[in-house]
């Protein structure tokens, strides 16, 4: 995510390393680089200029205060704070209170509204223990109703639909009635979009909004479209005065302009981000965490939160014992893999770890790599899975035949597994690591 911006900002800070203090002269190059980085990320020039002016003021103002901090580090800190500010400062939650609470989803076609509706349903169901009703108000394409039906099934939410009815206002009103009678906590209304902003769509969404007066109207926008996204966000806001923005497709090679400038330009906070097609690829938006991520510091807090959601304490204790005794085997590996998979797709997870997105930039990780590894393990006998030491040449040959992969692939995986096992064993006997692991487990969510 935002790799190019991260790289360029890092370069901007480099010009300060070696200097002992920040001066008007040595900071100038850095600021110019930061401004260029922002503009290249598709942030509007005026915003970029204002941004670097603020950074400059702060950097020169703290000149004598923080002698202990190196200029490069100080600059990173100031930019981090300013980025956080630019994106809204505080995280703003979604308002779903009501009997039922009503959330209206608006945006252009293909921006990710229907996908997000499914994700939001799952999120509210799991995190807030709410009974959720999804409502299909995209009346133009029969496939749109089917799509929402499938997603509702996936996330275990109910759906309200009227395939014969072509009036979205009516459908939405009836859905809310239905929800009230059947004690739903929240209704999510998925609407139709068009390929570009036009009067008919604006009228329709504004009619629906007026009729149902939702607690929360969310505008969904594809972050890949950069400045266009910001312009569309503005046009919609002028018409329907929504409450918050959802940025989708942050898993693609989006440059960052939309995330950075939408709050500044439109005045509405980003509330959620979407980072993939799977139903759990949804994150509450935290400006501070996003700033850290942009600066290549990863987003370890969100990562830990996702891990904690899937965390099974008993299982962890059992594994810890096995690792200590150097008895971690292929069965344990499979169960770890299964837990990892539940956390979301691999790419979006790796992106949250500091330094990882950069290291992995040119490596194409997809979840099918898991499949190949699993196939190798499934081709082992139960005895082999429980005791990796059994794997001699003839067994490996049999396994390679069984899973349809080359001897080389099998060998490579077993070698990696051995290396991982040794490393884990070493770490488990290192007091500092044990302490860190303890902190991780006890970690509280914010
Ligand atoms: N990679 C990625 N794809 C997404 C994301 N959100 C939606 N999509 C995909 O974008 C396409 C359009 O999404 P959809 O929800 O149908 O958009 P709608 O027309 O606004 O309802 C679909 O193929 C989705 O799978 C995301 O966060 N990341
Ligand atoms: Mg749709």
Residue owning the nearest CA to atom 1 of ligand 1: 276
More confident residue, 213 or 76: 213
Å from CA of 108 to ligand 2 middle: 9
> Ligand 1 centroid vs 110 CA: distance in angstroms?
6
3-state secondary structure of 15: coil
Domains recognised in the chain with CATH numbers:
3-86 (1.20.120.140), 101-287 (3.40.50.300), 304-445 (1.10.260.30)
**Closest residue to atom 7 of ligand 1, CA basis:** 112
Q: Return the closest-CA partner of residue 224 out of 263, 255, 262.
A: 255
pLDDT of 198:
84
> d(Cα 224, Cα 226) in Å, to the nearest integer?
6
C-beta 88 within 6 A of ligand 1: no
pLDDT in tens, 202-232: 899 999 999 999 999 999 999 888 888 899 9
Q: What is the pLDDT of residue 301?
A: 64
For residue 191, the model assigns a pLDDT of: 94
pLDDT at residue 114 tops 50: yes
On whether 397 is known to bind a ligand per the annotation, the reply is no
The span from the CA of 439 to the CA of 446, in Å, is 15
The atom number, within ligand 1, closest to the CA of 281 reads 27
Rounded Cα gap, residues 161 and 167, in angstroms = 11
Report the separation in Å between the CA atom of 249 and the middle of ligand 1, taken as the mean of its atom positions.
Answer: 7
Asked whether the predicted pLDDT for residue 171 surpasses 90, the reply is yes
Nearest to 310, CA basis, from 278, 340, 282? 340
Ligand 2 centroid, distance to 43 Cα (angstroms)? 28
pLDDT tens digits for range 248-298: 998 877 778 888 999 999 999 999 999 889 998 999 999 998 898 888 776
Give 139-161 pLDDT, tens digit per residue.
Answer: 988 899 999 999 999 999 999 99
Closest ligand (CA of 347): 1
| Mean local confidence (pLDDT), 32-60 | 91
Confidence of residue 340 (pLDDT cuts 50, 70, 90): confident
pTM score: 0.74
Longest Cα–Cα distance in the chain = 72
Buried b / exposed e across 79-105, counting CB within 10 Å, b at 16+? Answer: bbbbbbbbbbeebbebebebebbbbbb
């Amino acid at each position: 995510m935002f790799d190019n911006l991260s790289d360029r900002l890092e370069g901007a800070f480099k010009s300060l390393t070696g200097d002992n203090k920040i001066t008007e002269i040595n900071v100038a190059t850095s600021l110019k680089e930061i401004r260029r980085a922002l503009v290249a990320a598709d942030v509007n020039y005026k915003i970029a200029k204002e941004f670097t002016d603020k950074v400059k003021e702060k950097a020169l103002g703290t000149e004598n205060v923080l002698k202990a901090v190196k200029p490069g580090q100080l600059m990173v800190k100031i930019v981090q704070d300013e980025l956080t500010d630019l994106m809204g400062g505080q995280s703003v939650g979604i308002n779903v209170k009501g009997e039922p609470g009503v959330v209206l989803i608006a945006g252009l076609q293909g921006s990710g509204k229907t996908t997000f509706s499914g994700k939001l349903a799952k999120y509210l169901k799991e995190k807030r223990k709410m009974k959720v009703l999804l409502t299909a108000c995209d009346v133009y394409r029969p496939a749109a109703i089917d799509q929402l039906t499938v997603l509702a099934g996936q996330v275990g939410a109910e759906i309200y639909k009227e395939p014969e009815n072509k009036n979205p206002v009516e459908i939405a009103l009836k859905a809310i009635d239905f929800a009230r009678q059947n004690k739903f906590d929240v209704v999510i209304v998925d609407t139709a979009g068009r390929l570009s902003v036009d009067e008919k769509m604006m009228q329709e969404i504004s009619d629906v909004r007026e009729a149902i007066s939702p607690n929360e109207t969310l505008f969904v926008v594809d972050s890949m479209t950069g400045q266009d996204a910001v312009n569309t966000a503005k046009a919609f806001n002028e018409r329907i005065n929504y409450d918050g923005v959802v940025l989708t497709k942050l898993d693609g090679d989006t440059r960052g302009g939309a995330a950075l400038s939408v709050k500044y330009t439109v005045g509405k906070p980003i509330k959620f981000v979407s980072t993939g097609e799977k139903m759990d690829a949804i994150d509450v938006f935290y400006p501070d965490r996003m700033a850290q991520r942009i600066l290549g510091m990863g987003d370890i807090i969100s990562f830990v939160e996702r891990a904690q959601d899937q965390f099974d304490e008993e299982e962890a204790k059992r594994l810890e014992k096995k690792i200590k005794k150097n008895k971690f085997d292929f069965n344990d590996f499979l169960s770890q893999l299964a837990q990892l998979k539940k956390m979301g797709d691999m790419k979006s997870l790796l992106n949250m770890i500091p330094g990882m997105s950069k290291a992995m930039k040119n490596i194409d990780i997809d979840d099918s790599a898991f499949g190949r590894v699993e196939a190798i393990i499934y081709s082992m006998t139960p005895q082999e899975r429980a005791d990796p030491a059994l794997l001699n040449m003839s067994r490996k040959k049999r396994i390679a035949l069984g899973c349809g992969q080359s001897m080389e692939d099998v060998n490579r995986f077993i070698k990696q597994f051995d290396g991982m096992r040794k490393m884990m064993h070493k770490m488990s006997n290192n007091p500092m690591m044990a302490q860190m692991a303890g902190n991780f487990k006890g970690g509280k969510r914010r």
